[in-house]
Amino acid sequence: MTDYTNDDNEARSLRAALADKLRDEGTVTDPDWHRIFTAVPRHPFVPRVFLPFPANDGRYHPLDGTRPENRTAWLRHVYQDDICITQLDGDDRAWETATREGEVKATEMTCTSSQPTLMATMLEELALSEGDRVLEVGTGTGYNAALICERVGANSVTSIDIDPVLVDQARAALGELGYAPTLAALDGALGLAETAPYTRVMATASFPVIPRAWIEQTSNGGLILANLTRPLGGGALARLTVRDGTAEGRFSARTAGFMPTRGKHAPAAQRLYQQITEEQENAATPEAVDVDLNTVLDTPDLRFFLALRSDVEELGVRYPDYPAERWLLASDGSWAFATSEGGCLTVQQGGDRRLFDEVLSLYREWVELGEPSRDSFGLTAAPDGDVIWHGSPTDGRRWPLL
C-alpha cells in the first residue's frame, strides 16, 4: 500500500531501529503497530526541523533535510525517539529568520511531530481494529494520520487542524505516500460532523475540556483519547468511553503532555508574574513554613492531583547565584512565592487568595486519600457539567472540573 517515496537504506534502517526500540521497551506490544512503525516513514513529514539550543533558552537552529549535506544528521534526528519541531510562533517567519541568521529566538512551539513513544502509547490505547472510524484532532505534520491510515485504511480516517498551511502540507506529504484521508482546517473543538460518527477520537493537541462536539460525533461505545490542558500541566491523558451523550473513563497511568490549543488558553503564568511589583512583594511578610513547595510540586502524582483540582499556575524563576524561587499565580492577581535559603523555607503571599495555603490544603487532601496515583482518578464529561472523581464514578469523591 505504501509508496516509500524519498526512502533509502539509511532511512529504512534508522526507522527499523526506532520501531524495534519501541517494541523492546514495551511501548509497542501489538505486532501490527511494530510493522507500521517499521513501514511508514516519518521523514517526508518533517523536511525542515528546528533544533533547540542545549541551554533551552528559546533559541533554535534550523536543520533543512532537503539539503543533501544535511541528510544523515537530519535522518538521525528524525528517527530518534523525540519530538521534531516543525513550526515556531505560528508561521514560516521563524524558519526564514533561522535560515538567514543561523538561529532564531521564539516564544512558542506551534507544531511538532510528537515523540514516537507518546504516539505509540496513545495508538495502542486507542485499541484500533478494522472497521474503526477515526477522528484525529491536530493533524500537524500528518505523520500520526499516516500511521492511522496504514492501520484502518485512509477512507476511515479524518484529521483536522486549526492551521490551513499545516493541513495543506500534511495533505501533500500523505498524498506522496498514497494516503488520502479526509483533512480539514478548522478549530478542532468543532470536530467534523460530515464524516461522523467516529468510533475513535484521538486528540494530539490538548484541550481544557472535552468538547461536546466530539462526544456528539462519537458512536455509542466509542472511545475518546485526549490530553487535558491544566494550568499546572500534569499531563492528564483521559481515555473515555462514550454512552448516550456522556464520555466517562479514567486518566492514564502515563503522563501525556501536548501543546495547548492555540490562542485563548495559552498559559498566563509569565504575564501574571510580570504584573507583580516589587512594592507588592515587599509588603507581604515572609512566613517560615515546614512544607517544601519544591517537594509538593515535584511529586508527580501529587502534581497531577493539584493540576486537576486547582486553577493556580506555577512559574520557576532563576537568578544566577541565588536560590531558585517558585511562584504560584492566579488570574485574580493573587500570588505566593517560596524559597529555601540555607535550609530555611519561607513563603510570601499576596492578593485576595492565599495560594500557598490552598496548595497545602490540597496536598493534605491528597495524603488523606492515601496518596493516590493518577490512574485512580477519572473524568465524566456530561451535558450538565464535567466532574473528576476518585476511585469510581459512582462511589468515590467527586469535584467539578474547574
Ligand X SMILES: C[S@@+](CC[C@H](N)C(=O)[O-])C[C@H]1O[C@@H](n2cnc3c(N)ncnc32)[C@H](O)[C@@H]1O
Nearest approach, Cβ of 49 to ligand X (angstroms)? 12
Q: What is the CA radius of gyration of the chain?
A: 22
Here the cell at position 263 is: 490562542
- Give residue 284's identity as a one-letter amino acid code: A
Between 33 and 258, CB nearer to ligand X: 258
175 membership: H or E segment, kind and range: helix 164-176
Binding of ligand X by 313 (CB under 6 A) = no
With contacts defined by CB under 6 A, name the span among 105-113, 216-224, 268-276, 350-358 that binds ligand X.
Answer: 105-113
DSSP string, 132-161: --EEEE--TTSHHHHHHHHHH-GGGEEEEE
With contacts defined by CB under 6 A, name the span among 108-116, 123-131, 316-324, 330-338 that binds ligand X.
Answer: 108-116
Instruction: List helix spans (H) across 284-354.
Output: 293-298, 300-309
118-157 footprint of ligand X as x/- string (CB under 6 A): -------------------xx-xx-xx-------------
Is 13 marked active-site? no
Nearest approach, Cβ of 256 to ligand X (angstroms)? 11
Binding of ligand X by 113 (CB under 6 A) = yes
Query: Which position among 114, 156, 206, 252 bears the catalytic label?
Result: 114
With contacts defined by CB under 6 A, name the span among 7-15, 253-261, 309-317, 379-387 that binds ligand X.
Answer: 253-261
339-378 footprint of ligand X as x/- string (CB under 6 A): ----------------------------------------
Between 114 and 310, CB nearer to ligand X: 114
Between 98 and 157, CB nearer to ligand X: 157
If DSSP states are collapsed to H, E and C, what string results for 295-312?
A: HHHHCHHHHHHHHHHCCC
Between 231 and 350, CB nearer to ligand X: 231
Q: What does the alpha-carbon distance between residue 95 and residue 66 come to, in Å, rounded to a whole number?
A: 14
Nearest approach, Cβ of 94 to ligand X (angstroms)? 14
Q: How many CA atoms lie within 13 A of 342 on its CB side?
A: 1
Site for ligand X in 260-299 (CB under 6 A): 261-262
Between 206 and 348, CB nearer to ligand X: 206
- CB burial of residue 165 (10 Å; 0-12, 13-18, 19+): middle
Binding of ligand X by 259 (CB under 6 A) = yes
Binding of ligand X by 82 (CB under 6 A) = no
Binding of ligand X by 217 (CB under 6 A) = no
Residue 381: strand pairing partners: 247, 386
DSSP string, 185-228: ES-GGG--GGG--EEEEEESSBBSS--HHHHHTEEEEEEEEEEE
Which residue number is nearest to ligand X in terms of Cβ? 140
3-state helix, strand, coil in the chain (%, to 5): 35, 30, 35
Binding of ligand X by 112 (CB under 6 A) = yes
Binding of ligand X by 337 (CB under 6 A) = no
Instruction: List helix spans (H) across 236-354.
Output: 269-274, 278-283, 293-298, 300-309
From 40, 128, 135, 166, residue interacting with ligand X (rule: CB under 6 A): 166
Comparing C-alpha atoms, which of 237, 344, 212 is closest to residue 286?
A: 344
DSSP string, 104-118: EE-S-EEEEEPPHHH
Nearest approach, Cβ of 82 to ligand X (angstroms)? 13
Nearest approach, Cβ of 397 to ligand X (angstroms)? 31
With contacts defined by CB under 6 A, name the span among 55-63, 110-118, 123-131, 333-341 that binds ligand X.
Answer: 110-118
For Cα atoms 122, 123, 126, give the angle at the middle one, nearest 5 degrees: 85
Comparing C-alpha atoms, which of 141, 1, 12, 23 is closest to residue 79?
A: 12
Binding site for ligand X (CB under 6 A): 111-114, 137-138, 140-141, 143-144, 160-163, 166, 187-189, 204-205, 258-259, 261-262
Catalytic residues, by residue number, are 114
